Amino acid sequence: MLGILETFFDSLLNDLIFLFQRLNWTSVLDIALVTAVIFVVLIIVRDTQAVVLLRGVVFLIILLSLLTTLVNLPAFSWLLQTTLPALLLAIPVIFAPEIRRALERLGRAGSGDFFWRSQTNHLQAMETALQAIVSASARLSARRHGALIVLQRQDSLTEYTQTGVLLDAVATPEILLQIFYPNTPLHDGAVIIIEGKIVSAACVLPLSASGILTRSPERQMGLRHRAALGISEASDAIAVVVSEETGSISIAHGGRMIRRLDSERLENILYAFYRSPEGPPSAVRAIREFIGLPEPAKKKREE
C-alpha cells in the first residue's frame, strides 16, 4: 500500500513539474478567468440553499474523480461519461433563481449611472416618505405593532402592488400607524411605497428561499421577516420590518438583513440608499452596516 502511494505522489509531482514548465502568460490568464468565474458563482450562491447543493455536487465530483483515477473501472467511467451531459443540462434548472438574480444584477450594473441620477432627481419626493417611515417605525416599535414597509427602487414592484389594496396616498406617519394598527383590515401584509406615495397595502410578498433565518440563533422571526428577505432577494427593493414580538426594527436589502436598529441608524441607512445630502459617508456607513463592520472610532473635537 505504501509503495502504491509513493508511486502515485511521484507521478503527481512529475505532472505538476511538467505543467509549470509549460506555463506562460496565456495559461495564467486562462487560470485567472476560471478563478474569477468560480469566485463569482460562490458570491452569487452565498447565503442561499444553493450552497448546500453546490457543496454536494463538488463533493460528488471529487469522489468520482478519485474513484476513476485510482481504480480502473471501465464500466463506471462509461456511465459517468454518458450521464455527464444530462447533469450539465440539470445545472441551469437547479440554480435557476441564482442565475436569474446574477443576470438582473448585471443589468442593473449597466444602468447604474442612470439609476443614481434618477434617484437623485426624486430624492426630494422620497424625503417626506423616508421621514414618515422612520417616525412611524419608532412609534410602532415602542407599541410593539408589527409592520412591513417596502420601498421600490429600480426594479418594478407592480406585480406585488396588485396583490393588495390600492391606496395611492401620501406617506405620513399617521397613515402608516393606522394601517398597521392591530386587527385593522390592512395590518396584515406589506405596504409598498413608490415615489414617496403609499401605492398599496396588505400586499403579499414572496417568502425567502434562503436558509439565513433558519440558521439564525433567533429563529422566532416570523413571516414578516421572511417576506422582507424574500422581496429583497427577488428585487433591489428595501424592506423595513418592525417585529410584533420584540418591537425591534430590521432592514433587508439584497438578501441580507440587519436587526436591532434605532431610529437614527434606520434613517442613516435609508438616506444612504437614496443619496442623502450627506454624500458618500452615508453610503459608506450603509455598506459597513450590511457587511457587519464596526463603525470607526470618532475623533473627539477639540474645544
What contacts 24+ positions apart, CB below 8 Å, involve 70-73? 70/8
Phi and psi of 49, rounded to 5°?
A: -65, -20
Question: How large is the average pLDDT for residues 283-298?
Answer: 47
pLDDT in tens, 212-254: 655 555 555 678 888 998 898 888 899 999 998 888 999 998 8
Residue 260 contacts residue 289 (beta carbons within 8 Å): no
Question: Which is more confidently placed, 52 or 166?
Answer: 166
Q: How confident is the model at residue 283 (pLDDT cuts 50, 70, 90)?
A: very low
Q: Which amino acid is at 136?
A: A
> What is the per-residue pLDDT for 12?
74
User: Where is average pLDDT lowest: 5-19, 122-136, 225-239, 273-287?
Assistant: 273-287
> What is the per-residue pLDDT for 26?
81
Residues forming CATH 3.40.1700.10 domain(s) in the chain: 115-291
Burial grade of 128 (CB within 10 A; 0-12, 13-18, 19 or more): middle
When the pLDDT of each residue in the chain is averaged and rounded to a whole number, the result is 75
Cross-strand partners of 194? 197
Residue 64 contacts residue 80 (beta carbons within 8 Å): yes
Alpha carbons 196 and 71: distance in angstroms, whole number: 66
Q: Top-level CATH class of 115-291?
A: alpha beta
> What is the per-residue pLDDT for 116?
47
Query: Which residue, among 174, 208, 176, has the nearest Cα to 191 in the 3D structure?
Result: 176
With residue 17 as reference, give the H or E element that holds it: helix 2-21
Q: In sequence order, which residues have a C-beta less than 8 Å from that of residue 172 and are 6 or more positions away? A: 128, 132
Look at residue 288 and tell me whether its pLDDT is greater than 80. Answer: no
Radius of gyration of the chain (CA): 25
Residue 285 contacts residue 137 (beta carbons within 8 Å): no
Interstrand relation of 190-194 and 249-253 (parallel, antiparallel or unpaired)? unpaired
